[in-house]
């Protein structure tokens, strides 16, 4: 896509108002981060929840992708108006159809078991070396990764975060930071590849092409900002632009859930012609 219509720049997204209705009208699946994209201070915003229902009514397939646990994704998939909920930054997905709940994982069960052992070892090593590094309070619902609290209930010191990153990388895992958590990822998945695999498998759509759009807010969305042909950041992504090698193509005027609702309204309007 040309730079003007994609809005893509190494460091600066274009205002959402510059994205044409003609381009948005091609979107059939909207993929969204959750924390600080749909939520504010950890709570789902009313505007965002209303927008999810409006998108469903307009025939847009809604998919959530989050660093939150797959156990949380189970609830989102069962109770929210979405087609799929992808958890732990792309490690697996859950959905509900006429036959009931379905699940899928990036890794096989044998691979997941092997990686769980490696994560357990890393957990113990970090606890000994960095006693101030606090495991997230959603840990019991995690299935494929390990996460520490950096800005949700406690603020991790920068030097602790740097040392945590060193230890995770030394353990042969990837290190990803969101607006609330730091993750040790023991596999090749990320938000772009995880979304692509799940959505193609279940919906038959390649979300990275012109039929998909991603919206997010923070560094753990970097792979999606880079991988999706059309990407949008809610206004609070401004806080994280220095950490992003590739910015989202566009940015909303409003922040968090209100920014998501702003994009949703544009998508719905574009479908009305």
CATH of the domain at 69: 3.40.50.1000
Q: Which of 166, 185, 204 is the last residue of a domain?
A: 185
Structure tokens of 53? Answer: 């229902």
Q: What's the Cα-to-Cα distance from 91 to each of 42, 210, 270, rounded to whole Å? A: 22, 24, 32
Strands 250-251 and 14-15: parallel
Tell the burial category of 76 from Cβ atoms under 10 Å away from its Cβ (0-12, 13-18, 19+). buried
Is residue 167 in a domain? yes
Q: What pLDDT score was predicted for residue 82?
A: 98
Q: What pLDDT score was predicted for residue 8?
A: 56
Q: What pLDDT score was predicted for residue 270?
A: 97
Coil, strand, or helix at residue 94? strand
Is residue 13 in a domain? no
Is residue 258 in a domain? yes
Q: Specify whether 83 is located in the same domain as 218.
A: yes
Structure tokens of 135? Answer: 């495991």
Low-confidence ranges of the chain (pLDDT < 70): 1-11
* Cβ atoms of residues 184 and 122 within 8 Å: yes
266, containing H or E segment: helix 256-271
Q: Specify whether 102 is located in the same domain as 201.
A: yes
Q: How far apart are the first and last CA of the chain?
A: 22
Domain interval for residue 150: 109-185
pTM (2 decimals)? 0.94
């Amino acid at each position: 896509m040309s730079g003007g219509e994609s809005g893509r720049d190494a460091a600066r997204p274009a205002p959402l108002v510059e994205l044409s209705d003609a381009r948005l009208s091609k979107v059939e699946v909207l993929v969204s981060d959750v924390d600080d994209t749909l939520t504010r201070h950890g709570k789902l915003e009313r505007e965002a929840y209303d927008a999810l229902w409006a998108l469903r009514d307009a025939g847009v397939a809604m998919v959530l992708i989050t660093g939150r646990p797959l156990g949380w994704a189970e609830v989102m998939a069962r109770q929210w108006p979405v087609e799929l909920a992808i958890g732990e930054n792309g490690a697996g997905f859950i959905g509900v159809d006429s036959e009931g709940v379905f699940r899928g994982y990036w890794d096989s069960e044998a691979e997941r078991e092997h990686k769980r052992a490696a994560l357990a070892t890393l957990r113990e090593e970090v606890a000994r070396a960095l006693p101030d590094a606090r495991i997230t309070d959603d840990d019991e619902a995690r299935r494929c990764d390990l996460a520490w609290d950096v800005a949700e209930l406690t603020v991790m010191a920068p030097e602790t975060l740097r040392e945590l990153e060193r230890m995770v990388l030394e353990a042969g895992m990837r290190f990803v930071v969101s607006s609330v958590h730091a993750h040790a990822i023991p596999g090749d998945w990320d938000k772009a590849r995880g979304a692509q695999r799940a959505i193609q498998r279940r919906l038959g759509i390649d979300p990275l092409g012109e039929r998909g759009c991603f919206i997010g807010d923070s560094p753990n969305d970097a792979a999606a900002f880079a991988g999706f042909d059309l990407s949008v950041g809610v206004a609070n992504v401004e806080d994280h632009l220095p950490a992003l090698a590739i910015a989202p193509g566009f940015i909303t005027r409003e922040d968090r859930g209100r920014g998501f609702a702003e994009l949703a309204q544009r998508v719905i309007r574009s479908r009305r012609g």
